[in-house]
Amino acid sequence: PAVFIGHDAVNHCLYADWRGNYDQEMSRSTCRMLLAVQRQRPCSKLLNDYSSMTRSTVQLTQWGEQWLADMQAAGLRCIAWVLPHDPLARQVTEDLVQAIAAPRGVAFQDVASAYAWLSQQVVPAVPLSGN
């Protein structure tokens, strides 16, 4: 598995391109990286692109709920998930998105639709902490 994490300062958005197979531990490792980036460059929006994910067995756990709370505490307000093409990974992702109460999240078929939705979300920009 590999991930590319990009930062769009103009639109206050992080972009995470997840590639390959993800189990619970690989997902946690990637989420830790995302949290580190979120703390360094706070954003109100995250585009989680799973379209290049080939397999996922991830479930929402207490750890994941705490990670979401930490991301939200660092300023994240909405997440757009681009669904993977693999049917099992797609179902796992859809279940995950439905189980999350906050931050607000929606699943999409493609990056363009996810980005368009994020662009329409009116959320305050996250001020830099000055660290």
Instruction: Tell me what the mean pLDDT of segment 72-81 comes to.
Output: 94
Assess contact for 103 and 77: CB atoms under 8 A: yes
Looking at residue 86, what is its pLDDT? 86
- In this prediction, residues 64-88 reach a mean pLDDT of 91
Distance CA 1, CA 23 (A): 10
> Which of the residue ranges 35-39, 47-51, 55-59, 88-92 would you say has the lowest mean pLDDT?
55-59
pLDDT for 131 equals 43
Q: What is the pLDDT of residue 39?
A: 94
pLDDT at 34: 94
DSSP 9: T
Answer yes or no: are the C-beta atoms of 102 and 71 closer than 8 Å.
no
- Percentage of the residues of the chain whose pLDDT score is greater than 90: 49
Q: What mean pLDDT do residues 73-99 have?
A: 88
State the pLDDT at residue 36.
95
Q: What is the pTM of this model?
A: 0.86
Paired tokens of 2 = 């590999």
